[in-house]
Structure 1
Amino acid sequence: MTVTDTAELSNENLRARLAQELTAARARTALLTESVDDADLAAQHSPLMSPLVWDLAHIGNQEELWLVRDVGGREPVRSDIDSLYDAFQHPRRSRPTLPLLDPAQSRQYVQQVRTKALDVLDQAVLQGDPLIERGFVFAMIAQHEQQHCETMLATHQLRSGPPVLSSAPPPAAAPVVADEVIVPAGEFEMGTSTHPWALDNERQAHRASTGTYAIDRYPTTNGEYLEFIADDGYGREELWSAEGWRHHTKAGLTAPQFWEQDASGWYRTEFGRVVPIDPAQPVVHVCYYEAQAYARWRGKRLPTEIEWEKAARFDPGSNTSRAYPWGHDEPDATRANLGQRHLAPAPIGAYPGGASPLGVHQLIGDVWEWTSSDFVPYSGFRAYPYDEYSLVFFGSDYKVLRGGSFATDPVVARSTFRNWDYPIRRQIFSGFRLARDL
């Protein structure tokens, strides 16, 4: 199915598609929360993350607020817990101290909310009001839940104890040449005004311009990053920005998060399992400052957000922008590593069908890619449907990441989708690729 097909579905078929997205999100939530016992579910595995049980009830609370109460006009299921699950009232590190719903109560709550939400969807006429036009608010809630599924997967990566998650290994890579692609100077259409489920910071479509530049065909790999470590990249202050070196020193950075070395080589912890570093996989769990230092070591730089999107979307043959690197068809298993189908990045070259018209690979899925851009609004930005999704985060505190990771669901993984985080963050599934001026 293409993005255009989604926008043109009949009301009945669109309801079915939205129910499918909500159901898929809930299945992933259930897997992530039912794979641990109740004590693990209620524990805080890192001060950077919420207890999994908080995420579970928060997912239900957002669904209740938007679908049951706002769109449906129904009586509240649990109005007494709204403040407990407001992410802006309580920072993550303090959430275990709150009188949260216990695991059994949380499961019952989200099921009650879902039953009512699907009833609202079944009766909805998905046009007219911008909030429900083409199912926007239902898709927003599905995307919200899938974003929390990625956050919960990051919590699983931080938890200690025996493994509880498993998956098939990612596909093997074909032989590749890890070279550069030249992107021609000129304008292209950035952002979107037409995707019915795009979020506010992706809008509106506008003309953006670049000079000629080179961008790496593939994300930076573990093998390439090991060369940086071997050349004392973590010990050479001249490779790091002033802010990066201060963080490096304070945090004691010596390698990507979850990496360890012994006499036989390098290993990483992967959801409770210790596995050898695969040199062909994109490096993951690096912060912005590490990516920036590596880029200087290579004599390159991180791409800007505009450069990343142009490499991902611009088709020089038609002078148009695509919804995805490969075209307008939605992601599938032949084009990108998404949806927690594999619990690791795939080796470079694993998805030739996902290449952009310019020949840039694995732009969608595998690892979020740091860009050098601050998270700022596009011209004409309008916060919708609430300020706390994007507006309150704009500014120089956050750097933009693009492309999604193996933990990102296809419903989110558009070429226009914008993620952001503090430049010190490493628990996220973040990597990078490099660019250079020509």
Structure 2
Amino acid sequence: MVTADQGRAELRAHAHDALTRARTRTLALSDCVEDAELTAQHSPLMSPLVWDMAHIGNQEEQWLLRAVGGEAPLRPEIDSLYDAFEHPRAERPALPLLPPDEARSYLAKVRGHAFRVLERAELAGRPLEADGFAFGMIAQHEQQHAETMLITHQLRRGPAALSAPPPPAPPDGSGPLSSEVLVPAGPFTMGTDDDPWALDNERPAHRREVPAFCIDTVPVSNAAYLRFVENGGYADRRWWSAAGWDHVRRNGLRAPLFWRREHGGWWRRRFGVREPVPEAAPVMHVSWYEADAYARWAGRRLPTEAEWEKAARHDPGTGRDLRFPWGEAEPGADRANLGQRHLGPAPVGAYPQGASPLGVRQLMGDVWEWTSSDFAAYPGFTAFPYREYSEVFFGPSYKVLRGGCFGTDPVVARATFRNWDHPVRRQIFAGFRTARTPAPEEAA
């Protein structure tokens, strides 16, 4: 039997590891370029990398040092500079930001205090401290910003600054894949009350009755999406919502972001490298409008958020709802493409060991997947520990994405985690899979 002291020691070690892994990644994404690249704004859609660095430290100071540790502020004068709601991304380069060396020093100083707070924390009692929630929240926050920094690296011009081995191909002998699976009608538990580091928008767990539906076994590939492009999909009003068609016309969209047609073929730019579009990989850098249009063209639709989560978590054979598609074990390199181990998604059909009980693959990692659903509160939602994490974004302006991508860390990757963004966004590492409502005789 694990004693209370042993349990706290294990929780401290888990939090320490999550925080350390996040910081290692933050520094790797900032140390690989010159300081001038850190202070530049590579796109008005993104902050300068140096803003993300100090913002990460400021959030850690506010929540771990001040809120949990009760310590006096280290740098209260910079709180407003690094308030994401006070200063839009496009305006941040004009702010008196900490220069790179000072930002690094600030990160290190805050982290030293945070580890001391962790060592003396009870990790019980008040909700912010129970089960190490605040430490998990900050580790997840840093990893989410590391992913936005990775997006900035994709948007920056110039020679490649990052490298990683290619993702694995589907193993030989992994078996033929059907194009879709039928998910039977019935209830499942959506959201969670059990995961101690789950964020407020994942709570509370609640029962959902979901009619039968069919969902793609794998994400839509570049090859499949290319057929839509070359079939004139971007020029055909029939496939687009009114808002989507207006967006396509006003911005002259013809293909996914970073794609170019050259010398009789399609090429893309990926982290400073120019390469042919890999047809076997999931399509990426498409907006919700593009995903929705493709699905209509294919005679299908995007899955709802509830359908996506049921396909990813529910085991019809046992009636259980799992933490991950494959079960309860933490994500490993054999189950999902996560944690920036690679710099792109694996070919469709990879990671058979990460499949759901119904045989749906690549639900975690590779590409974020657009759903048809607006970002909304679950029944009984309570904002915690602050409204600005989720509640202020609820509404029809944001669409839900699920599953994580190759740049998502495992501390964030769980089948209940919810991401959201505007339907026009294309710089994010987003793709999709499609679904359909089966005929009554199919669902019987």
Tell me what 1:78 maps to: 75
Distance 2:105 2:158 in 1: 27
TM-score (norm 2): 0.96
Tell me what 1:44 maps to: 41
Distance 2:326 2:27 in 1: 32
User: Aligned to 1:234, what secondary structure does the other structure show?
Assistant: helix
Cα offsets for 1:147-174 (capped at 9, x unmatched):
0000000000000000000001000124
Distance 1:76 1:430 in 2: 38
Superposition deviation, residue 308 in structure 1: 0.2
Tell me what 1:419 maps to: 419
Tell me what 2:250 maps to: 250
Contact 2:202 2:418 in 1 (8 A): yes
Superposition deviation, residue 177 in structure 1: 3.2
Superposition deviation, residue 250 in structure 1: 1.1
Tell me the amino acid that sits aligned with residue 123 of structure 2: L
User: Aligned to 1:83, what secondary structure does the other structure show?
Assistant: coil
| Structure 1 position 170 matched with structure 2 position 167 | yes
Tell me what 1:285 maps to: 285
Cα offsets for 1:314-356 (capped at 9, x unmatched):
0011111000000011101000000010000000121000000
Tell me what 1:64 maps to: 61
Tell me what 2:372 maps to: 372
Contact 2:371 2:402 in 1 (8 A): yes
Superposition deviation, residue 132 in structure 1: 0.7
Tell me what 1:301 maps to: 301
Tell me the amino acid that sits aligned with residue 120 of structure 1: V
Tell me the amino acid that sits aligned with residue 35 of structure 1: C
Distance 1:142 1:163 in 2: 27
Q: Map of 1:337-416 to 2, 5 A cutoff? A: 337-416=337-416
Distance 1:294 1:411 in 2: 32
Q: Map of 1:90-105 to 2, 5 A cutoff? A: 90-105=87-102
Superposition deviation, residue 9 in structure 1: 6.6
User: Aligned to 2:112, what secondary structure does the other structure show?
Assistant: helix
Tell me what 1:196 maps to: 196
Contact 2:266 2:277 in 1 (8 A): yes
Tell me the amino acid that sits aligned with residue 280 of structure 2: A
User: Aligned to 1:16, what secondary structure does the other structure show?
Assistant: helix
Tell me what 1:320 maps to: 320
Distance 1:8 1:70 in 2: 23
Tell me what 1:268 maps to: 268
User: Aligned to 1:397, what secondary structure does the other structure show?
Assistant: strand
Cα offsets for 1:172-228 (capped at 9, x unmatched):
124653511000001001100010000000001100111111000000000000111
Contact 1:178 1:218 in 2 (8 A): no
| Equivalences, count | 433
Unaligned runs of 5+ in 2: 439-444
Distance 1:305 1:385 in 2: 24
Distance 1:317 1:121 in 2: 42
User: Aligned to 1:275, what secondary structure does the other structure show?
Assistant: strand
Distance 1:9 1:149 in 2: 31
Distance 2:197 2:27 in 1: 24
Does 380-389 or 65-74 show the bigger shift?
65-74
Tell me the amino acid that sits aligned with residue 246 of structure 1: D
| Structure 1 position 54 matched with structure 2 position 51 | yes
Distance 1:356 1:298 in 2: 24
Does 138-147 or 66-75 show the bigger shift?
66-75
Distance 1:231 1:351 in 2: 31
TM-score (norm 1): 0.97
Cα offsets for 1:113-167 (capped at 9, x unmatched):
0000001001111111110111000000000000000000000000000000000
Superposition deviation, residue 261 in structure 1: 1.1
User: Aligned to 2:162, what secondary structure does the other structure show?
Assistant: coil
Superposition deviation, residue 429 in structure 1: 0.4
Tell me the amino acid that sits aligned with residue 35 of structure 2: D
Superposition deviation, residue 264 in structure 1: 3.8
Superposition deviation, residue 402 in structure 1: 0.3
Tell me what 2:17 maps to: 20
Distance 1:76 1:155 in 2: 30
Tell me the amino acid that sits aligned with residue 115 of structure 1: G
Contact 1:77 1:112 in 2 (8 A): no
Distance 1:178 1:288 in 2: 25
Superposition deviation, residue 267 in structure 1: 1.0
Distance 2:87 2:345 in 1: 32
Does 175-184 or 270-279 show the bigger shift?
175-184
Tell me the amino acid that sits aligned with residue 237 of structure 1: R
Q: Percent identity, please.
A: 62
Tell me what 2:181 maps to: 181
Tell me what 1:131 maps to: 128
Superposition deviation, residue 413 in structure 1: 0.4
Superposition deviation, residue 76 in structure 1: 1.4
Distance 1:106 1:131 in 2: 27
Residue 106 of structure 2, aligned match among 109, 132, 136: 109
Tell me what 1:157 maps to: 154
Distance 1:437 1:128 in 2: 46
Superposition deviation, residue 263 in structure 1: 1.7
Tell me what 2:442 maps to: none
Contact 2:282 2:367 in 1 (8 A): yes
Distance 1:35 1:65 in 2: 28
User: Aligned to 1:151, what secondary structure does the other structure show?
Assistant: helix
